[in-house]
Homo-oligomer: A and B are copies of this chain.
Amino acid sequence: MDRPIVPNLVLIDLIGAFLFGLEGALAGVVANLDLMGFLVLGFVTAFTGGIIRDLLIGAIPPSSLKDWRFPTAALAGAASVFFFFPIIHVIPLWSLAVLDAAALSLYAVAGTEKALLYNMPPVVAVLLGTVTGVGGGVVRDVLLAQVPTVLRADIYATAAIVGCSLMVLALKLKLKPALAATLGGIVCFALRSIAIWRHWNLPHFSLR
């Protein structure tokens, strides 16, 4: 059950936890929270997506509670904000968005993979991969009383869905699992990054 199709799935997940921990803590700094507030935001951003996925597929207790490396990676990410702090006002905002795109891609791929391991059908695996990728950010934004990025940004959930779908398709076509995952992750990351860069939009349906 827990033998990954993709080698280094755990590594992918750990890097994602580090990045999301870092990003959540930075959101806490921006919101002028205290030390504990930004640790909480770091953990929430790093774990909620995976926890929702694990609850839905019945992987209980969730992996982030079973394996000490995940909390450690998220904590390290949140703590690294201290080191960035002296230079935080010179970090360009787009670099945060790129960090976020990277973590989104890593989590989406790892989530799809884990859902497949638990015998979910392909469409559900794509959905759960997307939820893994966007879930943490949604809860972080809700806690900060903001409308979540996933609803505001045009190509966000879309990038995750495309990346996860491509990965599932590549696995169906008997590509090597590591290749399929890499392909899905890169496409998700590229799509999200280009969307930030070029201000790509999906069609809006406005009443105004």
**Chain A interface (Cβ within 8 Å of chain B)?**
28-38, 40-41, 51, 55-58, 60-62, 65, 68, 71, 81, 85, 88-89, 120-121, 123-124, 127-128, 138, 142-148, 150-152, 154-158, 201-208
Question: Roughly how many angstroms separate A128 CA and B155 CA in the complex, as a whole number?
Answer: 35
**Are A205 and B38 touching (Cβ within 8 A)?**
yes
Q: Which listed residue (B128, B148, B157) contacts A36, Cβ 8 A? A: B157
Q: Which listed residue (B41, B146, B150, B205) contacts A85, Cβ 8 A? A: B205
**Are B152 and A37 touching (Cβ within 8 A)?**
yes
Question: Roughly how many angstroms separate A123 CA and B72 CA in the complex, as a whole number?
Answer: 11
A58 cross-chain contacts in B, Cβ below 8 A:
60-61
Closest to A208 in B: B32
Q: Given the interface contacts A57-B60, A120-B61, A120-B65, does A202 sit within 8 Å of B32 by beta carbon?
A: no
